[in-house]
Amino acid sequence: MDVETAKQKLKKYNKQLLEFYKQKPRFKLLENGFKARVNCVERALTIYDIQCFILSCFIPSPRLSFVPSFYELLRCLKASKVAIFILDDNISFDGSETQLFDETVVFEADEDWLESLLFVPLSNRQLTKIDDVSSLPNIRMKTDLNFTPVKKTDLLLSTKQMYQEGFLFPDEDNHMKCTRHKYRAVSDDSPLFGLDCEMCINVDGESVVTRIALVNEELETIIDTFINPEKPIKNYLTRYSGVTKEILDKVDTTLSDVKRMLRKSLPRDSIICGQSLNYDMNKLALFHPYVIDTSVIFNESGSRVIKSSLKNLSAMHLNEEIQCNKYGHCSIEDAKACVKLVKLKLSKGLEYGDRVLNPKQYASNRCLPIARFVELQNISVKVFYDFLNIEDENKFICVMDSWNDALKRTLASLLATENCICVVISKGLCRIRVS
């Protein structure tokens, strides 16, 4: 066999191998998951984390309303069986049985952990999709929330945070300029402005600002303009930006013009808020010392490095649908959403909407049984309170109050099954096997 033939065979084999793995579910731990491993626990997970994982076993990731915080689970629908065993009991496995699981992670479990796990709290947006909300169980979750209002200065990013979030500072080695030549000291009475930009890709492959919106605290539009970039556009990203060639061909406003507009519009002590604001400010080549970032003050993942989208934050906390226009995003709509979120945070307190500061909080006290919640996604899952009827089921949750030999044999059979997601949850421990 010559070298070229061998290369072709290897290429074909690799392609077949890739196609094979695409037909299987895939699971791996993320940083928070490694920190919760049973043998070296740095930080235990929350009951909410485990509930999210259960939902991910049935609902594919693009349709999830949350960002997984401790794991990545892909292609769950490729699993021929999904079996979740929940035992209101402490279980011990011997060494050989423990090795059958890919991972075992630790989570915090109080006396009501089972009820909290089996009932999914609904967001405001999800409540609107339920025909008879009054029929839903009203379960008051333990949150220990501090709803003490805070001040604007409490939400400002520190210099260290700005650096960590990727804000560029004016330097002789870059082209960043300050929004004002001089500033006044910021205070709780300083005016708040929401800023949002839309981007396109130029011929050099760089993202450039092609639209900007600035709104004030009363949600009045201060600036709304398209921007004609210096270099030709290669990709207008119209689906997201809402910008087209026809629009920009009629625009004479330059980035320099926009900088002058901002300089005139922003008082010396003004506060700018936005979603992942560093990206917009860096592309504008502008630095502002007083900023609030909604992707920082709100966190639905429980991990600072995993940020929720503005669309999801608006749906969860404002009960508003944004970015739904098929012709692209609207900068004014996004800027207003940021101001609304900041004002909500000011009234609710630091812990509100931040699962890092308070991982036990929920957006609503209205809950759905977990199987019914999954059914909203047109996926059928059964919940059994015994294990006698699960042999012919492909997707189920089995809730037991004790560990016995019959259940042990059933579990052993499932663990030996290909294309199977098998999870065993007991008080404080979650054992995971994805084959």
Q: What is the Cα 76 distance to its own chain's centre?
A: 18
Q: For residues 323 and 239, give the distance between their C-alpha atoms in angstroms, rounded to a whole number.
A: 10
Residue 238: φ, ψ to 5°: -55, -35
Q: In this structure, what DSSP letter does residue 316 have?
A: I
Structure tokens at 232: 């030709």
Q: From residue 146, give the alpha-carbon distance in Å to each of 264, 351, 357.
A: 38, 6, 10
Q: For residues 297 and 148, give the distance between their C-alpha atoms in angstroms, rounded to a whole number.
A: 15
Strand ranges in 244-345 using DSSP code E only, listed in sequence order: 271-274, 286-287, 291-293
| Residues 252, 173 contacting (CB under 8 angstroms) | no
Tallying the residues shown for the chain, one arrives at 435
Digits of tens for pLDDT over the chain (435 positions)?
Answer: 677 776 676 766 566 555 555 778 999 999 999 999 998 999 999 888 999 999 999 999 888 877 888 999 999 999 999 999 998 766 666 555 667 789 999 999 888 888 889 888 776 666 666 666 555 554 444 444 557 899 999 999 999 999 999 999 998 788 899 999 999 999 999 999 999 999 999 999 999 999 999 999 999 999 999 999 999 999 999 989 999 999 999 999 999 999 999 999 999 999 999 999 999 999 999 999 999 999 999 988 777 877 889 998 998 889 888 998 877 889 999 999 999 999 999 999 998 988 888 766 655 556 788 888 888 888 888 888 766 666 778 899 988 877 777 777 888 888 888 889 999 999 899 999 998
The domain limits of the chain are 19-141+363-434, 152-348
By C-alpha distance, which of 275, 259, 125, 249 is closest to 181?
259
Contacting residues for 304 by C-beta, under 8 A, at least 6 apart = 296, 356
Domain with residues 152-348, CATH architecture: 2-Layer Sandwich (3.30)
Contacting residues for 377 by C-beta, under 8 A, at least 6 apart = 58, 59, 63
